């Protein structure tokens, strides 16, 4: 999410001697274990921490101390309240990350080295008629080719997409802010440069949209949330800067579920172009809906735990969730510093490759981003790749299966997923069975809750979380409050378990270059978001209701080149991605 890293505030020496300092550290560790933050309210109500308060805290932590042990703890715990207050007084805007960083590589492993390599595959220049809207659903790379060949101007395409956005937004609720003035100026500049023989690459002049987690100078950056609906961050996010440099034309800031959850934001619910009666899923809700509806050439989304995969699945888009630490999040809202990722949502795999080539690589500000080459070869012979599939998740369903009672429409999914295997085998790809690590990944997702609660601690403490639209038990306000009661030791233990999970995934990925998995199969989505592995999601069929389904391709860390090539080979052999939603204004 999902970041300018302009740290504010300062710390100072405590003046404590070594023994007092170590005593306080010891007390702090104990307090973090048995005294979840919300229970300090009880202590405050009683005037200070007492043995009785500690006994109540023990029940939450699942621990039992003796009365003398509680007596010994009282003084140190009371002194901590002052420390907490001093730390909370330090300004900590959302852009300030923790001093600890997640690295998806295990000790001894290194990212690949070398230079980037990118070239589009063979292209055919599409025909251009009198109706520019006939071009609305073309891949971004095809649009770029038309602009580069001067068959159409960027200005004309930009006006066409702006008109479509304004026409369909009342149905889809996918736009938070139009960037029309900026877009028309960028389009005019692109036309001038191209007329002068200066090309910036395959995205030059192509209109696009950005999830409204990313800052754009001069425009609101609302994070989809009521408390921030008037927020203006006076900078361009790194991703925006890079697409500006590539000559792409930003037409709108697109909706996202409030604080990167779901498809509900302060302006309503973003809708699925294939069925406006249902939501588009999220949290990259507007990015997927606008792309699927032919309202932008491509869009940028973010993913922490499914926010590219899920709306791409719902809306029938092609999405790339890159390896963690591939794309700088500078200037984007932070939700989980160890899990947020940014990537493209588009109409084809090659579009994703072109956008990824433009936005990946270190920016000198997001410390998680490493230098690793992206080599795109659309002609790669995928028969040379070792490709796995999660066998148990492609198995035939039986009447004894606990899923057998699912509604009939949901039973269609496995049929589409198994058909993907047949397509790849027909292309000469040898598929080998694999299984996912048998570890409690879903339980480790408490890491996300803890980090998100820290990122928005000020919202919880101020009571302004009441301004968020969604207020149910599974929505952010309640999740943030619950996370205040997760002991620090449990957060650290979950991170240690995450290391074991990374080791298990490294073992699996040592046997294949990539593997296939139903997009919501087992714990795959949680596992790969925790371990930082890249994913390409593509449509693989349509239900009887007319709504799309998808398959996910998972690759090696920093293996986006091979992963995208494999997904492209499948996509080129099918037509699912070419369908258009029957949307009517």
Burial class from Cβ neighbours inside 10 Å (0-12, 13-18, 19+) for residue 507 reads exposed
Residues facing residue 547 across a β-bridge: none
DSSP string, 79-119: HHHHHHHHHHTS---TTPPPS----SSPTT-----S--EE-
Please confirm, yes or no, whether 307 is among the known catalytic residues.
yes
Q: Buried b / exposed e across 189-225, counting CB within 10 Å, b at 16+?
A: ebbebbeeeeebbbbbbbbbbbbbbbbbeebbbbbbb
Q: Which of 268, 308, 262 shows the shortest CA–CA distance to 476?
A: 262
Q: How far apart are CA 415 and CA 126, in angstroms?
A: 34
Q: Which helix (H) or strand (E) holds 446?
A: helix 446-455
User: Choosing from 280, 281, 283, 336, which is the catalytic residue?
Assistant: 283
Would you say 93 and 72 are in contact if contact means Cβ atoms under 8 Å apart? no
Distance CA 525, CA 527 (A): 6
At residue 209, φ and ψ (nearest 5 deg) are -130, 150
Residue owning tokens 């300030």: 96
Q: Is 211 a catalytic residue?
A: yes
- For residues 333 and 2, give the distance between their C-alpha atoms in angstroms, rounded to a whole number: 7
Contact (Cβ atoms closer than 8 angstroms) between residue 270 and residue 280:
yes
* Closest to 246 measured CA to CA, from 300, 203, 192: 203
**Catalytic entry in 307, 336, 338, 449:** 307
Q: How far apart are CA 338 and CA 529, in angstroms?
A: 10
Q: DSSP 3-state assignment of 290?
A: helix
Q: Which 8-state DSSP code applies to residue 14?
A: -
Catalytic annotation present for 166 = no
Q: How many angstroms separate the CA atoms of 331 and 103, rounded?
A: 20
- Give the catalytic positions in this structure: 211, 283, 307
């Amino acid at each position: 999410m999902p970041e300018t890293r302009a740290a504010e505030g300062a710390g100072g020496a405590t003046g404590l001697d070594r023994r007092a300092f170590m005593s306080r550290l010891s007390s702090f560790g104990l307090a973090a274990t048995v005294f979840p933050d919300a229970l300090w309210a009880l202590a405050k109500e009683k005037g200070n921490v007492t043995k009785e308060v500690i006994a109540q805290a023990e029940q939450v932590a699942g621990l039992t101390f003796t009365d003398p042990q509680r007596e010994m703890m009282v003084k140190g715990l009371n002194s901590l309240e002052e420390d907490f207050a001093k730390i909370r007084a330090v300004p900590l805007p959302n852009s300030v990350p923790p001093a600890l960083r997640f690295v998806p590589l295990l000790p001894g492993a290194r990212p690949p080295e070398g230079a980037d390599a990118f070239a589009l595959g063979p292209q055919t220049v599409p025909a251009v008629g009198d109706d520019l809207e006939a071009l609305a659903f073309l891949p971004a790379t095809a649009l770029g080719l038309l602009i580069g060949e001067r068959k159409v101007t960027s200005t004309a395409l930009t006006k066409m997409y702006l008109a479509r956005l304004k026409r369909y937004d009342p149905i889809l609720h996918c736009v938070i802010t139009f960037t029309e003035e900026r877009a028309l100026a960028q389009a005019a500049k692109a036309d001038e440069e191209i007329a002068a023989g200066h090309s910036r690459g395959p995205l030059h002049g192509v209109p696009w949209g950005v999830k409204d987690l990313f800052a754009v100078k001069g425009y609101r950056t609302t994070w989809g949330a009521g408390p921030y609906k008037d927020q203006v961050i006076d900078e361009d996010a790194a991703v925006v800067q890079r697409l500006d440099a590539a000559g792409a034309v930003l037409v709108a800031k697109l909706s996202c579920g409030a604080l990167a959850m779901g498809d509900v934001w302060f302006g309503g619910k973003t809708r699925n172009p294939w069925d406006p009666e249902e939501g588009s899923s999220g949290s990259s809700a507007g990015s997927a809906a606008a792309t699927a509806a032919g309202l932008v050439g491509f869009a940028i989304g973010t993913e922490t735990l499914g926010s590219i995969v899920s709306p791409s699945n719902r809306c029938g888009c092609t999405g790339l969730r890159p390896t963690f630490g591939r794309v700088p999040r500078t200037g984007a809202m932070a939700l989980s510093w160890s899990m947020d990722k940014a990537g493209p949502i588009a109409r084809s795999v090659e579009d994703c490759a072109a956008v990824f080539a433009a936005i990946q690589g270190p920016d000198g500000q997001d410390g998680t981003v490493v230098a690793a080459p992206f080599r795109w070869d659309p002609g790669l012979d995928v028969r040379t790749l070792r490709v796995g599939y999660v066998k148990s998740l492609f198995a035939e369903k039986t009447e004894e299966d606990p899923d057998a009672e699912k509604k009939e429409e949901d039973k269609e999914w496995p049929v589409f997923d198994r058909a993907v295997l047949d397509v790849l085998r027909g292309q000469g790809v040898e598929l080998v069975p694999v299984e996912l690590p048998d570890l409690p990944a879903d339980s480790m997702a408490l890491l996300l809750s803890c980090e998100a609660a820290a990122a928005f601690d000020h919202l919880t403490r101020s009571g302004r979380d009441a301004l968020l639209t969604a207020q149910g038990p599974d929505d952010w306000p309640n999740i943030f409050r619950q996370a205040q009661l997760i002991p620090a030791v449990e957060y650290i233990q979950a991170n240690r378990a995450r290391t074991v999970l990374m080791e298990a995934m490294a073992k699996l990925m040592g046997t294949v270059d990539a593997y296939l998995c139903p997009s919501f199969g087992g714990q795959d989505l949680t596992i790969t978001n925790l371990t930082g592995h890249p994913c390409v999601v593509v449509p693989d069929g349509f239900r009887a209701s007319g709504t799309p389904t998808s398959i996910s391709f998972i690759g090696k860390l920093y293996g986006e080149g091979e992963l995208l090539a494999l997904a492209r080979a499948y996509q080129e052999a099918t037509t699912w991605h070419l369908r258009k939603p029957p949307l009517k204004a």
